[in-house]
């Protein structure tokens, strides 16, 4: 009788471990005509493993995703922007205005994104987009580090990534991690 209970509980245990939501983060440089930006694409990919699929294990959805980031000079550590809420753009936002909190269902496509740095074509400089409380700020040429706090269903996950700002739009790039 105990064996039946264990066999019935096995899919639930697998679901608990392998069916948890998984935030996948991709750092890209967006180039559209004369517009340049450093973008982070976000997704919650479904389970690919055939055995887990046969057992009925499905990836859970991310119910709440918030993103905050800090920018500091690389090397000196001088903080340029202490903390800023990211405006997240998702595929289920009909207004295309972005939100500060989104949900991510399991999908193979990119479900959401946010722009860390934009190139202002009019003033020919890099800027950090505004958030609820702060205006846009300028970023002068140099090397910087973004400390990004992804808050997934209340749990923080911090990722750091370096980027370079130059005097031209094409100089705005991610620096590959070593």
Q: In sequence order, which residues have a C-beta less than 8 Å from that of residue 2 and are 6 or more positions away? A: none
Nearest in space to 173 (alpha carbons), one of 30, 70, 76, 42: 30
**Can you give the pLDDT at residue 149?**
97
Q: How many whole angstroms separate alpha carbon 63 and alpha carbon 101? A: 9
The pLDDT > 90 percentage for the chain reads 54
Q: In 19-92, which ranges are continuous DSSP H helix?
A: 50-54
CA atoms within 13 A on the CB side of 52: 16
Average pLDDT, the chain: 86
Q: Is the pLDDT of residue 171 over 80?
A: yes
Q: Which residue has the higher pLDDT, 1 or 178?
A: 178
The pLDDT tens digits for 5-63 are: 444 445 577 666 677 899 999 999 999 887 899 999 999 999 888 877 777 788 889 99
**Can you give the pLDDT at residue 14?**
67
Label residue 12 left, alpha or beta by phi (over 0 means left) and psi (-120 to 50 means alpha): alpha
Q: How many whole angstroms separate alpha carbon 16 and alpha carbon 10? A: 10
The pLDDT tens digits for 47-92 are: 888 877 777 788 889 999 999 999 999 989 999 998 999 999 887 7
The pLDDT tens digits for 122-142 are: 989 999 998 888 889 999 999
Strands (E), the chain: 24-32, 35-43, 62-73, 79-85, 89-90, 102-104, 112-120, 125-128, 137-139, 142-152, 155-165, 173-175
């Amino acid at each position: 009788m105990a064996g039946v209970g264990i066999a019935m509980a096995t899919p639930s245990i697998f679901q608990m471990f392998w069916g948890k939501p998984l935030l996948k983060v991709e750092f890209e440089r967006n180039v559209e005509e004369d517009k340049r930006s450093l973008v982070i694409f976000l997704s919650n990919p479904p389970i690919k493993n055939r055995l887990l699929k046969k057992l009925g294990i499905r990836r859970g959805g991310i119910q709440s995703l918030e993103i905050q980031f800090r920018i500091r000079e690389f090397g000196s550590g001088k903080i340029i922007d202490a903390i800023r809420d990211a405006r997240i753009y998702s595929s289920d936002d009909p207004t295309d205005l972005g939100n500060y909190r989104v949900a991510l269902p399991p999908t193979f496509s990119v479900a959401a994104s946010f722009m860390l740095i934009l190139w202002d074509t009019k003033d020919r400089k890099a800027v950090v987009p505004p958030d609820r409380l702060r205006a846009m700020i300028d970023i002068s040429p140099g090397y910087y580090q973004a400390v990004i706090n992804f808050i997934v269903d209340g749990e923080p996950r911090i990722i750091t990534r370096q980027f370079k700002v130059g005097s031209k739009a094409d100089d705005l790039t991610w620096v590959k991690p070593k």
